[in-house]
């Protein structure tokens, strides 16, 4: 969700970029008003997964590539696996 370029824009080690702060605020407000489960999933992934959403995307890509090497064209990985038929 947040690119590495936006993450680098943070000026200190313990600060975040304005884009990330805005996204966190938006997800918090969305969770309060409309869907708390979506906001909880976002917060949980961002806070507890190593590397946050960027780390998850990298791990997902590595897992998908490993599965394709093992299973070949039979590998279907959501959400894009159905498009590879």
Position 66 confidence tier, pLDDT thresholds 50, 70, 90: confident
Domain ranges of the chain: 1-48, 53-85
The pTM is what?
0.57
Q: What is the pLDDT of residues 10-51, one digit of tens each?
A: 555 667 788 888 998 999 999 999 999 999 998 988 888 888
Rg (CA), the chain: 16
Count CA atoms within 13 Å of residue 54 on its CB side.
9
Helix (H) and strand (E) counts in the chain = 4, 0
Q: Which of 52, 73, 59, 72 is nearest to 1 (CA)?
A: 52
């Amino acid at each position: 969700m947040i690119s590495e370029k936006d993450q680098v824009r943070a000026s200190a080690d313990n600060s975040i970029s304005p884009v990330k702060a805005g996204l966190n605020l938006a997800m918090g407000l969305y969770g309060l008003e409309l869907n708390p489960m979506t906001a909880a999933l976002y917060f949980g992934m961002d806070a507890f997964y190593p590397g946050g959403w960027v780390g998850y995307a990298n791990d997902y890509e590595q897992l998908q590539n490993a599965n394709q090497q093992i299973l070949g064209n039979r590998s279907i990985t959501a959400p894009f696996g159905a498009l590879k038929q």
